[in-house]
C-alpha cells in the first residue's frame, strides 16, 4: 500500500509536466495564436498520454490562411491527441500528434463582398518533437522522486500538414492547403511554488498555389512570444496566467502585397487537476486584447487526459 501511495505521489508531480499536451492541441485550432503553458516541463520517460478535448471560439476569428475582414465566426473544435515522453540520449523530451475536427459557421468580408459559410471537417493535423536541452534529464518514474526543477531550457519543432478539408472555390476553409513549420525555444524557472516561463517561436508557411480559384497566396513568417506565471497547488493541481504576442504574417496574393500585418496580444488562464493516477482534467480560456487586423476572438476549452505506461 505504501508503494502504491508513493507511486501516486511521484506521479502527481509528473502530471504537472506533460499535462500541457492537451492544451497543445489548441495549436491546431488557432495556429500561432495558441497559448501553451508547461511546454518544456520534465516528465518521466515512457509515460503516454491520450487527450480528448473540446474548444469553442466566437468573435472575429481569423485563421492564418484567410485574408478576410470583419469576420464573425463561431467554431466548435473536437480534438484527439497522443503524446509520449522520450529519452534523447539522457535528455527528456516528447513527441505529440494532434488531430482536430472543426464545425465552422458565420460571416466575413472578402474584397469588400460579404460572405457566409457553414462547413465542417478535419483540420490540419500537427506533429511536434521537443527536447529539454538543459535542466531536465531523462528520468524513470522512480528517479523522478528526487527531481527538483530549477531552470529548464528546451526547443521544439511543430509541423502542420495540409491533410484537411479544403475547397478552392471557397474563401473560408478549415484547412490551409499548405505546410506550416513552427520551431520554438523556451525557458522555465521554478521559484518555490511558482514557475515562470517564456517562449519564442517563428512560424514559416509554404505557398498556397490553389487559393480561391487557382490564385497563389504567400505569407511572411509570423513571430510569436509567450509568457506564463504558473502556481503549483497541493495534490498535483496547478493554475496559470498566460499571455502571448505575435507579429508579422503579412501576405501577398499573386505578388500583390496585402495590408494584413498582424500585431496581436492575447491573455488567458489555465486550471488543471488530476482525478486519479491515470486521469486528469484541464480547463482553459483566452481572449484577444488588441489586434491590428481586428481579429480578436474568445476561446473556451476543456480537455480530458488519460495516462499509462512508464511504471504507473
Would you state the pLDDT for residue 2? 41
Lowest mean pLDDT among 30-39, 286-295, 296-305: 30-39
Highest mean pLDDT among 10-19, 167-176, 225-234: 225-234
More confident of the two residues 108 and 126: 126
Confidence of residue 312 (pLDDT cuts 50, 70, 90): confident
More confident of the two residues 1 and 168: 168
Would you state the pLDDT for residue 102? 92
Rounded Cα gap, residues 233 and 224, in angstroms: 29
Q: What is the pLDDT of residues 101-118, one digit of tens each?
A: 999 888 877 767 777 889
With 50 as the cut, is the pLDDT of residue 21 above it? no
Strand partners, 263: 247
Domain 2-308 has CATH 1.10.3720.10: no
Rounded Cα gap, residues 143 and 190, in angstroms: 19
More confident of the two residues 290 and 263: 263
User: What integer is the mean pLDDT of 45-62?
Assistant: 86
What 8-state DSSP symbol labels residue 6?
H
With 60 as the cut, is the pLDDT of residue 248 above it? yes
Mean pLDDT of the chain: 86
CA 7 to chain centre: 29
CB 135 within 8 A of CB 152: yes
pTM tops 0.75 = yes
User: What integer is the mean pLDDT of 88-106?
Assistant: 94
Rounded Cα gap, residues 138 and 178, in angstroms: 35
Q: Is the alpha carbon torsion for 153, 32, 214, 165 positive or negative?
A: positive
Amino acid at each position: 500500500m505504501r508503494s502504491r501511495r508513493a507511486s501516486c505521489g511521484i506521479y502527481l508531480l509528473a502530471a504537472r509536466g506533460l499535462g500541457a499536451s492537451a492544451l497543445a492541441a489548441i495549436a491546431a485550432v488557432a495556429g500561432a495564436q495558441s497559448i501553451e503553458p508547461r511546454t518544456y516541463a520534465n516528465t518521466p520517460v515512457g509515460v503516454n498520454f491520450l487527450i480528448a478535448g473540446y474548444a469553442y471560439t466566437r468573435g472575429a476569428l481569423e485563421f492564418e490562411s484567410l485574408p478576410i475582414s470583419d469576420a464573425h465566426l463561431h467554431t466548435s473544435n473536437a480534438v484527439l491527441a497522443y503524446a509520449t515522453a522520450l529519452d534523447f540520449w539522457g535528455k527528456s523530451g516528447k513527441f505529440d500528434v494532434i488531430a482536430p475536427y472543426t464545425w465552422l459557421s458565420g460571416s466575413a468580408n472578402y474584397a469588400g463582398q460579404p460572405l457566409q459559410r457553414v462547413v465542417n471537417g478535419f483540420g490540419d493535423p500537427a506533429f511536434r518533437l521537443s527536447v529539454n536541452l538543459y535542466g531536465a534529464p531523462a528520468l524513470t518514474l522512480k528517479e523522478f522522486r528526487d527531481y527538483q526543477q530549477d531552470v529548464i531550457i528546451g526547443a521544439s519543432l511543430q509541423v502542420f500538414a495540409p491533410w484537411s478539408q479544403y475547397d478552392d472555390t471557397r474563401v473560408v476553409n478549415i484547412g490551409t492547403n499548405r505546410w506550416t513549420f513552427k520551431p520554438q525555444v523556451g525557458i522555465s524557472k521554478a521559484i518555490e511554488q511558482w514557475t515562470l516561463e517564456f517562449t519564442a517561436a517563428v512560424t514559416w508557411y509554404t505557398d498556397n498555389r490553389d487559393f480561391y480559384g487557382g490564385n497563389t497566396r504567400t505569407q511572411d513568417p509570423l513571430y510569436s512570444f509567450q509568457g506564463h506565471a504558473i502556481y503549483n497547488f497541493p495534490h498535483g493541481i496547478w493554475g496559470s496566467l498566460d499571455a502571448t504576442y505575435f507579429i508579422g504574417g503579412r501576405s501577398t496574393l499573386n505578388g500583390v502585397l496585402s495590408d494584413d500585418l498582424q500585431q496581436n496580444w492575447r491573455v488567458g488562464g489555465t486550471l488543471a487537476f488530476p482525478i486519479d493516477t491515470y486521469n486528469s482534467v484541464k480547463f482553459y480560456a483566452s481572449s484577444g486584447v488588441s489586434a491590428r487586423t481586428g481579429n480578436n476572438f474568445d476561446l473556451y476549452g476543456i480537455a480530458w487526459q488519460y495516462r499509462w505506461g512508464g511504471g504507473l
